[in-house]
C-alpha cells in the first residue's frame, strides 16, 4: 500500500511514476491500433476530431485553473512552455491533419515532451492536481504524435524539419527575452531545474543551451531521415 508520504511527494521511477508510464504505454498501443484500423475512412477523421475536442477541453480546463484570478503564481503558470505550445499544436494537428501542426507535434512530442515524461520536473505525488495535469497534458502530446504517425499514417519530411527548427528557435528567442523582463525561467533557458534532469548531462549555463540546439537538431534529423530516404532500387523522379 502506498503510504501518505509517497502519495504527497513525487519520486522519479517510483511506484506512481511507473504505473503512470505503464498506463501510457497501454493507451499508446490502443491509439495506434485504432488509427491503423480506421485509416483512410470517415471513422478515422471522426476519431481524430473527437480526440482533438477531448484534448482541447482538458487543455482549456487546465489553463483556466492555473490562470484563475488570485492564483499565487499566475506569472509562472502562463502557457508559454514548449510543452504547452506542443499541446496546442497537437489539438490543431488532430483536427486538421495538416503538415505544419503535425510537424510541431511530431518533433516536440517525440523528443521534448516524451523526455519530460521520463524525467519530470515535479514535486507533488499522485494525490495532487499538479501530478495529474502534468502527466495528463504531456501524455496527450505524445499520444497525438504517435497516433498521427503510426496510426493515421502522416509522415514528416525535410520541410517539417525546417518548420520545427525555425519555430523552436523563434520561441527560444522570445522566451529568453520574456524571462529577462519578467524574472521567470520558462524553458529553463536561464537556469536548470532544481531537480535532476537530462540537462545535467549537457554542461553548465549557457553551454547547455548550445548543446540542446545541436543535439536537438541532430536528433530531429535522425527522426526525419527514415521517412524520406529513398530505397536503393527506387527510381529517381524528374524533380528528384
96-138 confidence digits (pLDDT tens): 999 999 999 999 999 988 877 877 777 677 777 777 878 888 8
Structural domain includes residue 2: no
Q: Within a domain: residue 239?
A: no
Would you say residue 133 lies in a domain? Answer: yes
How many folded domains does the chain comprise?
1
Per-residue confidence at 2, pLDDT binned at 50, 70, 90? Answer: very low
Cell numbers for 119, please give them. 524525467
Does the CA dihedral 159-161-162-167 come out positive or negative? Answer: positive
User: Is position 115 within any domain?
Assistant: yes
30-39, 63-72, 134-143: which range is least confident on average?
63-72
**DSSP notation for 33-74:** HHHHHSTTSHHHHHHHHHHHHHHHHHHHHHHHHHTSTT-TTG
Check whether 188 has a pLDDT greater than 80: yes
Gap between the Cα atoms of 228 and 221, Å rounded: 11
Considering 55-64, 155-164, 186-195, the range whose residues carry the highest mean pLDDT is 155-164
Residue 235 lies in a domain: no
Using alpha carbons, select from 97, 112, 231 the residue that is nearest to residue 151.
Answer: 97
Could you list the residue range(s) of the whole structural domain that residue 69 is in? 8-228
The least confident of 48-62, 157-171, 206-220, 226-240 is: 226-240
Q: How confident is the model at residue 237 (pLDDT cuts 50, 70, 90)?
A: very low
pLDDT in tens, 166-179: 999 999 999 999 99
Is the pLDDT at 211 greater than 70? The verdict is: yes
Could you tell me if residue 236 is inside a domain? no
3-state SS class at 124: strand
**14: closest CA among 2, 26, 23?**
2
Can you tell me whether residue 231 is helix, strand or coil?
coil
More confidently predicted of 43 and 232: 43
Residue 141 · residue 133 · CB < 8 Å = no
Between residues 161 and 188, the one the model is more confident about = 161
Residue 24 lies in a domain: yes
Q: Per the domain annotation, does 151 fall within a domain?
A: yes
- What is residue 196's predicted lDDT score, i.e. its pLDDT? 65
pLDDT of residue 234: 43
Pairwise CA distance, residues 25 & 39, whole Å: 21
Amino acid at each position: 500500500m502506498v503510504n501518505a508520504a509517497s502519495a504527497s511527494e513525487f519520486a522519479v521511477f517510483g511506484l506512481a511514476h511507473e504505473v503512470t508510464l505503464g498506463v501510457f504505454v497501454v493507451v499508446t498501443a490502443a491509439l495506434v491500433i485504432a488509427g491503423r484500423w480506421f485509416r483512410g475512412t470517415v471513422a478515422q477523421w471522426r476519431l481524430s476530431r473527437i480526440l482533438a475536442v477531448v484534448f482541447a477541453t482538458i487543455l482549456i480546463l487546465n489553463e483556466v485553473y492555473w490562470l484563475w484570478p488570485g492564483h499565487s503564481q499566475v506569472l509562472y503558470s502562463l502557457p508559454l512552455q514548449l510543452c504547452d505550445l506542443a499541446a496546442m499544436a497537437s489539438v490543431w494537428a488532430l483536427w486538421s491533419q495538416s503538415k505544419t501542426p503535425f510537424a510541431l507535434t511530431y518533433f516536440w512530442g517525440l523528443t521534448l515532451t516524451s523526455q519530460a515524461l521520463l524525467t519530470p520536473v515535479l514535486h507533488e505525488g499522485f494525490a495532487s492536481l499538479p501530478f495529474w495535469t502534468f502527466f495528463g497534458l504531456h501524455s496527450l502530446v505524445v499520444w497525438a504524435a504517435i497516433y498521427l504517425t503510426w496510426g493515421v499514417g502522416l509522415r514528416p519530411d525535410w520541410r517539417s524539419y525546417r518548420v520545427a527548427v525555425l519555430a523552436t528557435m523563434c520561441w527560444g528567442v522570445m522566451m529568453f527575452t520574456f524571462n529577462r523582463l519578467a524574472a521567470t525561467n520558462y524553458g529553463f533557458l536561464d537556469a536548470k531545474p532544481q531537480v535532476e534532469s537530462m540537462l545535467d548531462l549537457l554542461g553548465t549555463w549557457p553551454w547547455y543551451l548550445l548543446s540542446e540546439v545541436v543535439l536537438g537538431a541532430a536528433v530531429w534529423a535522425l527522426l526525419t531521415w527514415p521517412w524520406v530516404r529513398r530505397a536503393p532500387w527506387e527510381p529517381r523522379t524528374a524533380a528528384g
